[in-house]
Amino acid sequence: MTEYLELDVRPILAAGGEPFGRIMEAVAALGPGEGLRLLAPFRPVPLFGALGARGFTHQDREIGGGDWEVLFTPTAGPAVSTTEAANDRWPIPLMHLDNRGLMPPEPMVKVLGAAEAMQRGEVMEALLDREPTFLFPQLAQRGHEWRGGFDPDGAAYRLLVRIGTGS
Amino acid sequence: MGYFAAALLSLLGAEALMAAGYGYPADGLRDPGTLVVVHLAAIGWLSLLMCGALFQFVPVLVNRPLAGAGLTLPALLSIVVGLVSLLSGFLAIDGLLETAAPFLPIGGFLLCLGFAMAAVAIGLTLARSRPLPLPAAYVAVGLAGLLAAASLGLVFTQVLGGTLSTPALMGIAARGVPVHATAGLGGWLTMCAAGVSYRLFPMFLLSPDPQGNGTRLAFMLSAGAATVAVGGGMAALLAGWTVPGVLLVAGLAAAGAAALYGRDVVNFYRGRRRRELELNMQIAVLAFASLGLAVVLAAPLAALAGGERGIAASIYLVAFGWLSGLGLAKLYKIVPFMTWLECYGPVLGRTPTPRVQDLVSEAAARPWFLLYFASVWAGTAALAFASAASFRVAAFGTLAATAAIIVHLVRARMLSDVAASQRFPEGALRPSLLYSIAPGGR
């Protein structure tokens, strides 16, 4: 039976705060096999992908008043080998793109377009069919950093881009 | 782009000579005129095209930048000057050029030098990326074929040019032509084309990468065929065994490899997630069909039309249907893509840009590709039936089609098919016809 640590981010948001850091701290502090019970004033969709990338499945339900409860449950192993996402200096991705099944160079265009809308230091996660060889020079030219790798089952290439200074 | 331009000009030249009735079948298979046409096509067109494509795509195959990128321009110059010199040497033998200059030995030397530089750049890139993914392994075998073909060519030119007269080398020159041709067309060009297609086709079709025993067996058979043909062929030359026997063994292995490769190609098309095929992928089907025809028809052609005519028809089909057809189709993808990336890459996401497919006009280009393949197949039949007149008509068809396809490539490069209003958004770069500023892009 999974033990859940409870984190209520509603007060943080009500005070105009930014809960992402607290959530990631809480996740980092979880023991093996422990899960997270998150209480939020909206359905925190971006977290599903971010914590999914770190090996958590989620169950969400509305608990009234527009508030949501989400149970993040650890799976047996991490969902990706690219534990890059867990690197402490990279914030969790704010932007999620699923570019699988798009005809090249459409995935590249979408990543670069999304990057323009983001702030320095923010991170985007993109799912791709292949390693984006032609994208890397474009990212480098614009001063962005990236990390990426195939998921263990080889079904998707997971790319993380940290927005840089721009050029 | 310089490689591609030099390659396309060579192709036009070779086709014009064939249309004019120079070389085989009007002349003999080993006459100087035939040698001019064959080397213009094999070195000037196919090998330069392959080198240019490999400089672009080997970095993609192994995910690291090209080693020795500084060698690409000297290699191009050396190969082009070497080729001109080699052809001049053949013309001198033919009596069309009166000169005492030792063009053949110089040409052989410069070609060897140029191809060695190209092989070093590609080979180093591969060597630093071991273990090699399957497509890159094909290219590695192809490079070995290139070096074998070039070294044999060097021996031929020195012997024919009179700079070497060792009996052993003269023996090689007398009997080594089939090994030279097999190493070049089979080892170098076909292996590299297969390798590159193993990576590019899943990419263009959005189909799963091939894996499994059939794919590995295809590689082992084709690598084995290349080793037997080139290694065994060389050994046969040195030891005085029968060369055709060795090549027959290699040919059987190659036919098996071609069948398995064909199965993988069919799976690329079947397993694709993109239903609508771009023109370059539709046309590539005709190139694969040509390879299949060449494999299936090789034996009946040899039996019906006799050895020399059968060989000529088969080689023509492989060189112009399979290798050239695939090359032209892929250029129609590569040139627009590289141009798009070069011109619009810096502003992608910042301002609306044309799509890659806006750079080409597929409907206008399609008939010319169809004419190209129809002419090549007609030309193959003309060779098999030894009809020199029909062959010239067919060759004229390939010439006209190629010229039109080149016009379409130049239009793509110059962004002529892009609506003028969106051709140059703020910050976009203007393309130069020959020089590409993209990484490794000359």
| Residue A167 lies inside a defined structural domain of this protein | no
pLDDT for the residue B435: 63
- What's the pLDDT band for A119 if we cut at 50, 70, 90? confident
| pLDDT score for B11 | 95
- B63 at the A interface (CB within 8 A)? yes
Is the domain of A68 the same as that of A101? no
Give the pLDDT confidence score for residue A83 in this predicted structure.
Answer: 43
Are the C-beta atoms of residues B108 and B156 closer than 8 Å to each other? Answer: yes
pLDDT at A90 over 80: no
A69 in the same domain as A93: no
Phi-psi group of B21: left, alpha or beta (phi > 0 → left; psi -120 to 50 → alpha; rest → beta): left
DSSP state of B189: I
What does the DSSP assignment read for B350-403? TS----GGGG--HHHHHHHHHHHHHHHHHHHHHHHTT-HHHHHHHHHHHHHHHH
Query: Residue A98 belongs to what domain range?
Result: 83-162
Q: How confident is the model at residue A81 (pLDDT cuts 50, 70, 90)?
A: very low
Residues of A contacting chain B (CB within 8 angstroms): 101, 103-105, 108-109, 111-116, 129-131, 133-134, 137-138, 141
Q: Under DSSP, is residue B219 helix (H, G, I), strand (E, B) or coil?
A: helix
Looking at residue B301, what is its pLDDT?
76
**Percent of chain A, pLDDT > 90?**
1
Could you tell me if A63 and A102 lie in one domain?
no
Distance from CA of B43 to the nearest CA of A (A): 29
Q: Which element (helix H / strand E) includes A93?
A: none
Answer yes or no: do A101 and B273 touch at CB < 8 A. Answer: yes
Task: Give the one of A114, A129, A131 whose C-beta lies nearest to B63's C-beta.
Answer: A131
In this structure, are A67 and A87 located in the same domain?
no
Residue-wise pLDDT for A14-53, tens only, equals 877 777 778 878 887 887 778 889 998 887 777 777 777 7
Best mutation target among B211, B280, B348 (most A Cβ atoms within 10 Å) is B348
Q: Are residues A35 and A10 in the same domain?
A: yes
Domain boundary among A74, A101, A119: A74
Quick check: A35 and A2 in contact, CB under 8 A?
A: yes
CA distance linking residue B176 with residue A12, whole number of Å: 82
Q: Are residues A68 and A88 in the same domain?
A: no
Band (A82; pLDDT cuts 50, 70, 90): very low
Q: Show residues of chain B in contact with A113, CB under 8 Å.
A: 348-349
- Judged by CB atoms closer than 8 Å, whether chains meet at A138 and B203 is answered as no
Residue A133 has its nearest CB partner, among B60, B274, B346, at B60
Q: Which residues of B touch A115 (CB under 8 A)?
A: 349
A:B CB pairs within 8 Å? 39
Element (H, E) at A96: strand A95-98
Question: What is residue B245's three-state secondary structure?
Answer: helix
Shared-domain flag, residues A90 and A156 = yes
Q: Does domain B31-275 have CATH number 1.10.600.10?
A: no
Q: Which candidate from B60, B346, B349 shows the least CB-CB separation from A109?
A: B349
pLDDT of residue A167: 46
Last residue of a domain, one of A51, A74, A97: A74
- Which residue in A has a C-alpha nearest to residue B349's C-alpha? A113
Question: What pLDDT score does B409 carry?
Answer: 93
> Angle B193-B194-B200 (CA atoms, 0-180°, nearest 5)?
85
Task: List the one residue out of B142, B186, B157, B1 whose CA is nearest residue B82.
Answer: B157
Where chain B has pLDDT below 50, the residues are 437-442
Nearest residue on chain A to B347, alpha-carbon basis: A112
Report the alpha-carbon distance of residue A70 to residue A92 in Å, rounded: 18
Instruction: Provide, rounded to the nearest whole percent, the portion of chain A with pLDDT above 70.
Output: 89
Give me the CATH number covering residue A36.
3.30.110.40
pLDDT of residue A89: 65
In a domain, A94, yes or no: yes
- Find chain A residues with C-beta within 8 A of B340's C-beta: 105
- Whether A19 and A90 map to the same domain: the answer is no
| pLDDT given at position B140 | 94
The C-alpha atoms of residue B381 and residue A121 are separated, in whole angstroms, by 65
Do residues A13 and A56 both lie within one domain? yes
| A66 plus A93 within the same structural domain | no
Residues A90 and A136 in one domain: yes
Q: What would the pLDDT profile of A124-151 be if each residue is shown by its tens digit?
A: 889 888 888 888 888 888 888 888 888 7
What pLDDT is recorded for position B442?
A: 36
Domain count, chain A: 2
Point out the domain boundary residue: A56, A74, A92. A74
Sheet bearing A95-98, strands edge to edge: A95-98, A123-128, A157-162, A145-150
In three-state secondary structure terms, B208 is coil
Q: Is residue A134 part of a domain?
A: yes
The answer on A37 and A54 residing in a single domain is: yes
Rounded mean pLDDT, A91-114? 83
Task: Identify the sign of the CA torsion B373, B377, B383, B385.
Answer: negative
